[in-house]
Amino acid sequence: MAEAQGWAGVGPQLAGRLAKLDIRRPQDLVLHLPLRYEDETRLTPIGTARAGAAVQVEGEVVSCEVTLRPRRQLVARIQDASGTLVARWLNFYPSLQKQLETGRRVRLFGEVRGGFFGDEMVHPRVHPVEAGEPLPQALTPVYPTTAGLAQSALRKLIGRALYSVPPDELLPAALLGGLDLPSFADALRTLHQPPPDVDPYALEDREHPAWQRIKFEELLVQQLSLRRAYNARRTRHAPSLRDRGGLTAALRAQLPFALTGAQARAVAAIARDLATPHPMQRLLQGDVGSGKTIVAALAMLQAAENGYQSVLMAPTEILAEQHWKKLASWLEPLGIGIAWLSGSRKKREREAELARLASGEVLLAVGTHALIEDPVTLPRLGLAIVDEQHRFGVRQRLALREKGANALHPHMLMMSATPIPRTLAMSYYADLDVTVLDELPPGRTPILTKLVTESRREQVVARVRDACLGGAQAYWVCPLIEESEALQLKTAQETFDTLSAALPELKVGLVHGRLKADEKSATMAAFSAGELQLLVATTVIEVGVDVPNASLMVIEHAERFGLAQLHQLRGRVGRGTAESACILIYAHPLSENGRARLKVIYEHSDGFAIAREDLRIRGPGEFVGARQSGLPLLRYADLEGDADLLEPARALAERLLRESPDTATRLMERWLGGREGLLRA
Ligand code: ADP
Ligand code: MG
């Protein structure tokens, strides 16, 4: 890292340490808020201090010495009328020894532990005092800090900044509308220097109106930056792809089913977007099995009708090939060719596909990330679709967009079966338009979910035998071994061997990530065609795989899988009209989280409910995952806890951008400094 520049009385060395906390200007100091508070407003008699509690005691130093065993340390004894306490420091300066000379009076703040020689404090904070010195009137803030930067120093810097840079009020009461919140300056003063009468619990829980005010502003700024990014995109140019009712109508006419209401609404919204001369940026969210592929196909045809190319990118070979086959079955009767690109296709085939795409002869392409590799050129790219978008990084999605070799930006459609809770969608995805398929195609029977302990594995095997002999097909998902691919492979092979031996009357197949692409695809094709009755698999079948006749899913060591994974895996069944079941085999001992996940998946079938629970168990960090493209993450607000602030923040963001863009800019400057504008993708 480059040597930090000093600023406003802060030398380069200190500036470097502050920069680690993302503090680069006096304003940033003011927004560096306490993690928690310590109560130094009262004293605890030594005799009543209980182990485990952080307390403040005051007493006289009765002894203080450096001992060398078991290692060098400073040990002091402090006494008040009620008892004696031992305090130790493993690292100390001579100045500390001075403060602790025998006979001195000190206050110590720290956690009491039961030690071998009675109660003790390790590394307490020391404050020399005169007898009768008044106690502080306010709670003491504790800030997030970094090596080489003492709490006391940080506290002083922040206190100074609070007075030298009086914070501007950017949201006068009129703008806050119905929210009864304190002014920005008052909120900051309360949080940095809580007055004596403040409710310490409301401060700790961050429910105090002062916290609310800060969190509201933070959410507002996040909304502002997302809306700005969204608006900026609306100024770019894309081909206007009108619905000409030609190919799209022809496909609808020959589909074996009618679109659900939700699909029809999504198709209409996308058709409208595609017709505008600005790039669409839409997220199509639909639970597993809600029928996103046909929505994508209709969008691709709308582009084709206008002479523009479209691509559909999927995260796995299995899925890409399945899409390709499905699209081909729908579109070949209409005389439309589709290129298929994946890392595994033979060089000659690939080159032929590339040439057809480069010449613009073929308008539709399906593939894996092979689509974004160098040799692919798409001179007339008008629409890029990313299936299971959460499986791709921002850079890959960007690369796909950049494939358009023309001056226009392509329209983008992101599809995801990992439902994003509303709060998350509203914050982290506010720069996208979101369409939700909230309806499953008719005729699906609910999936019965069972939890079974490992000791009853035999019975599960018997059930698989009965189901398959009765004409059904089943998946058996091997235990997940995240730490080692080699072990994962071995486990998959062993599971396959045991099940094949136990079920000689069934035709059993195996797919895992290490198979060659053509082996994988041959196995999937055989399972699809009903030639295999049981498919032993790793999570390669997690996304997208669609074999309607499969009605039984067994997942071994289900407690190891994440909730989104379990939901996706379970969604591989229940796609046809037969009754479907998902058997989750789990092993003891269950971790607390593992138990919580199994309970959620057992009790819920709706993907949104599951996602909400998942968010509660894991927090938003992992959800946002690959999207962390410089997107300002929230420091103080918490999406679940502060959901009630989100809607007003969003409404105000829109109003400010319309009526007071200056205020919007100043708010963003205050919170983000020069860091906005990173939002792209
Ligand atoms: P997902 O949203 O999980 O990607 P798919 O697009 O794979 O779902 O669709 C799941 C299955 O439902 C497919 O077999 C598809 O052909 C079928 N399907 C899609 N839409 C309908 C509908 N409106 N009516 C009946 N079946 C449908
Ligand atoms: Mg799909």
Helix (H, G, I), strand (E, B), or coil: what is residue 106?
A: strand
Q: Which residue has the tokens 């410089």?
A: 630
Predicted TM-score (pTM) of the model is 0.72
The burial class, CB within 10 Å (0-12 / 13-18 / 19+), for 398 is middle
Q: Which residue has the tokens 């005092």?
A: 129
Positions of E strands within 21-139: 36-38, 54-67, 73-80, 83-89, 105-115, 118-122, 125-128
| Centre of ligand 2 from the C-alpha of residue 549, in Å | 17
| 116/110 Cα distance (integer angstroms) | 18
| 351/332 Cα distance (integer angstroms) | 21
Structure tokens at 118: 């009675």
Indicate if ligand 1 lies below 6 Å from the C-beta of 554: no
Indicate if ligand 1 lies below 6 Å from the C-beta of 16: no
Mutational pocket test of ligand 1: of 251, 255, 257, 386, the residue with most ligand atoms within 8 Å of the beta carbon? 257
Domains and their CATH numbers in the chain: 42-135 (2.40.50.140), 247-437 (3.40.50.300), 447-604 (3.40.50.300)
Please state the length of the chain: 681
Distances (CA, A) of 639 to 424, 612, 620, 621, 636: 7, 11, 8, 11, 10
Cα 250 vs. chain centroid, distance in angstroms? 40
CB 411 within 8 A of CB 384: yes
CA angle 411, 679, 391 (to 5 degrees): 65
598: which DSSP letter?
A: H
| 90/87 Cα distance (integer angstroms) | 10
Structure tokens at 594: 């593992």
**The pLDDT of residue 431:** 76
Mutational pocket test of ligand 1: of 251, 259, 267, 294, the residue with most ligand atoms within 8 Å of the beta carbon? 294
| Centre of ligand 2 from the C-alpha of residue 174, in Å | 47
For each successive 10 residues of the chain (681 residues), what is the average pLDDT? 70 90 89 90 89 89 90 93 92 88 94 80 91 87 89 92 86 82 93 86 88 94 86 89 93 93 96 96 88 96 95 90 91 91 84 90 93 86 90 78 81 85 71 86 87 95 96 93 83 94 96 86 91 92 79 95 89 86 94 92 90 77 46 72 87 93 92 60 37
Closest C-alpha to 451, from 587, 273, 572? 587
Q: In sequence order, what are the residues at sequence separation of 6 or more whose Cβ sits closer than 8 angstroms to the Cβ of residue 462? A: none
| 609/599 Cα distance (integer angstroms) | 13
Q: What is the amino acid identity at position 155?
A: R
**The pLDDT of residue 574:** 86
Pairing mode of beta strands 140-142, 281-286: unpaired
Distances (CA, A) of 236 to 303, 407, 672: 18, 10, 25
**The pLDDT of residue 543:** 67
378: which DSSP letter?
A: B
Q: What does 409-457 look like in DSSP terms, one character per residue?
A: PPEEEEEESSPPPHHHHHHHTTTSEEEEE--PPTTPPPEEEEEEEGGGH
| Centre of ligand 1 from the C-alpha of residue 293, in Å | 7
Alpha helix stretches (DSSP H) within 368-472:
394-402, 422-428, 457-469
Q: In sequence order, what are the residues at sequence separation of 6 or more whose Cβ sits closer than 8 angstroms to the Cβ of residue 540? A: 316, 318, 511, 512, 513, 520
End-to-end CA distance of the chain: 27
| 450/554 Cα distance (integer angstroms) | 10
Q: What is the amino acid identity at position 459?
A: Q
**Total H helices, total E strands in the chain:** 24, 21
Indicate if ligand 1 lies below 6 Å from the C-beta of 416: no
CA angle 341, 344, 348 (to 5 degrees): 70
CB 352 within 8 A of CB 380: no
Which atom in ligand 1 lies closest to the alpha carbon of residue 293?
6
Indicate if ligand 1 lies below 6 Å from the C-beta of 577: no
The burial class, CB within 10 Å (0-12 / 13-18 / 19+), for 199 is exposed
Q: What does 464-500 look like in DSSP terms, one character per residue?
A: HHHHHHTT-EEEEEPPP--S-HHHHHHHHHHHHHHHH
Peptide bond into 70 cis (omega under 30): yes
40: which DSSP letter?
A: -
**The pLDDT of residue 621:** 57
Closest C-alpha to 161, from 170, 150, 172, 153? 153
Tell me how crowded residue 531 is: count the other CB atoms within 10 A of its CB: 11
Structure tokens at 546: 């669609």
